[in-house]
A and B are shown apart, each in its own frame.
Chain A
Amino acid sequence: MSALWIATIGTSVIAFLLKYSGHSIPERFLSNPKIQRINTLIPIALLSALVGVQTLTEKSSLAIDHRLAGVGVAVIALFLKAPFPVVVLTAALTSAAIYNWF
């Protein structure tokens, strides 16, 4: 089985077990305020790290290229409170323009 299949099936199995366990365990196990707080902070850390890695790395080294321009425009769009599709589209258009013409 290829690495991509292992990732696909493994993620799906654990995602379901996490959902199902929430429906089956007593509330007191997860009502600890520290657990709740860590749970709201983990997505912030992981998603931000993914933004950084996907924008500024190529294989295992740092790289500055057309993607940074695209994500920079996405930041501006978000500051201007643009909706999600606009953010993604302006990033793609900017990045594609630079990649194709420079």
Chain B
Amino acid sequence: MNAKKAKKEKAKKEKGDGLIRFTINGQSVQAREGWTVLETARQYGIHIPTLCFHPAVHPIGSCRLCVVETRQNNLTRVVASCITPVSEGVEVLTDSEEVQNVRRWVLEMLLANCPASLQIRELAQECGVTSTHFTVEHPEDACPRCGLCVRACDEVVGVRAISLGNRGVFKEVTAPYHQRSTDCIRCGTCLYVCPTGAMEQLFPQVSSE
């Protein structure tokens, strides 16, 4: 960049053009205030794996597959890129050792806990994980409890027929009292957003009759 252009860019920046400049894997990127790191990466075609993210609903940072390492002001953190707002001058690394370690173990745990999901096997394979150290206890389970179905029913459809009940390892997608929902309108949005095919199994149990 020649000196005149550089001066112009600097002036534009100082005037406050509403753009936030930072780097991803060393590459300079620009984003608008309010964007997340994940959105910016997608804009630039930089791949970050996700599971619980869907553009139609608010992100919650639950699966942690989208983690990235950020470095700013001598502070290094590992954060979920889907919920991390962009900030000026931050260095983002999408494939550092720390990030790869998190992804590898999360995928191994997903393989053991959602063994019935083809999509998860494929996602794991993309990231180089083909086997797991952990015991498979429920061979028919495909649900990673990402909550996309619940969020879609809430934010997109507004019916709120299902929710995530219980907590911890007992967390489950269900309609109240494990009965079929009386509020469900059978629109099928939950089936559409489910990233693992689990909702196909669950739908007959939670949907209205």
Q: Do A and B interact with each other, yes or no?
A: no
Report which A residues bind B (CB closer than 8 A): none
Report which B residues bind A (CB closer than 8 A): none
